[in-house]
Amino acid sequence: MSFDSEILLVAGRSLYVSGLATVLASAVGVPAGTVLGLRDFHGRRFLRSFLHALYGVPPVLLGLCLYLLLSKTGPLGGFGWLFTIEGMILAQFLLVLPFVTGLTMNAIQELDAALKDTARTLGARRGSYVRILVREARSGVLSAVMVGFGRAISEVGAVIMVGGNIRHETEVLTTAIVKETSRGNFTAATGLGLFLLGTSALVFLALTVLQERTE
């Protein structure tokens, strides 16, 4: 692969897949984590341990399971999502969701413990208290989103299985590195690796600036 417009397209695809997966996982995981962090309910500890256990799911195992589900002979074959961008987004969405949910839950819970008494002393009502809490937890929530994005943009096992690493279609930076390495093009692979590093560094820089602004 030459360092022409193709690498930009591949990088764009990486950002699109991992970015969209993270945004979707955040849209579900942040509200879910907030609710779970606020409500002290029966089984919360179990749920928390369960979410933490999901942090360790190997991407390649998730990829294999999704592969079998999305295959034409699998139960979700009707979607036609195997070897497509949509399948890759689904895979990373599932990979990222536990992180965003669990870390949001932790952030809310910690703040809740710290602020509850103060708020009660000041006589805050439940509704406004939650609003304050969520605002105060912004930085922690953004960290959760960043960890999720980091997991997505850097993983290769799930997207290479579900996407099939099809050139011009489902090839992303990590799978391109695998391909170039297996072809023995170590120079190209290293270049792609640096490009990946740069791309994710830019995103993290932007998110960090955003985080500092909210603090």
Partner 1 sequence: MHRRGSGLLLALLLCAGCRSAAAAERLTLATTTSVRDSGLLEHILPDFESREHVRVAVVAVGSGQALEIGRRGDADVLIVHSPDAEKAFLKEGHGAFRWRIMWNYFAIVGPEGDPAGVRGSPTAAAGMAKIAASSRTFVSRGDDSGTHVKELALWKAAGLDPSSFASWYKSIGSGMAAALRMAFEMDAYTLTDEGTYRSIPEVGEAATVKPGLVILLGGLDHPAEDLRNVYSVIPVNPDRHPGVQSDLARHFATWITSEGAAAKIRQYRIGGHPLFEPSPERH
**76 near partner 1 (CB under 8 A):** no
Biggest alpha carbon–alpha carbon distance for the chain:
67
Site mask for partner 1 (CB under 8 A), range 37-56, x = bound: --------------------
Residue 190 structure tokens: 């290293």
Which amino acid is residue 155, in one-letter code? E
**86 near partner 1 (CB under 8 A):** yes
Residue among 97, 106, 91, 95 at smallest CA distance from 25: 97
**80 near partner 1 (CB under 8 A):** yes
Question: Quick one: 71 or 124, whose CB is closer to partner 1?
Answer: 71
- CB of 53 vs partner 1, minimal distance in Å: 26
Residue 104 dihedral angles phi and psi, to the nearest 5°: -65, -45
Residue 192 structure tokens: 């792609």
Question: Quick one: 20 or 54, whose CB is closer to partner 1?
Answer: 20
CB 134 within 8 A of CB 34: yes
CB 25 within 8 A of CB 96: yes
**181 near partner 1 (CB under 8 A):** yes
**12 near partner 1 (CB under 8 A):** no
- CB of 26 vs partner 1, minimal distance in Å: 6
Q: What is the DSSP string of 43-61?
A: THHHHHHHHHHHTT--HHH
**14 near partner 1 (CB under 8 A):** no
Residue among 88, 81, 102 at smallest CA distance from 33: 102
Given the rule CB under 8 A, which of 20-28, 54-62, 105-113, 203-211 is the region that contacts partner 1?
A: 20-28
- CB of 168 vs partner 1, minimal distance in Å: 8
Given the rule CB under 8 A, which of 5-13, 151-159, 161-169, 200-208 is the region that contacts partner 1?
A: 161-169
Pick the binder of partner 1 from 46, 127, 182, 213 (CB under 8 A).
Answer: 182
CA geometry: angle at 170 spanning 169 and 176, to 5°?
110
The total of other beta-carbon atoms located within 10 Å of residue 69's CB is 17
**88 near partner 1 (CB under 8 A):** no
Residues lying near partner 1 in the complex (CB under 8 A) are found at 20, 23-24, 26-27, 30-31, 71-74, 77, 80, 82-86, 89, 164-169, 181-184
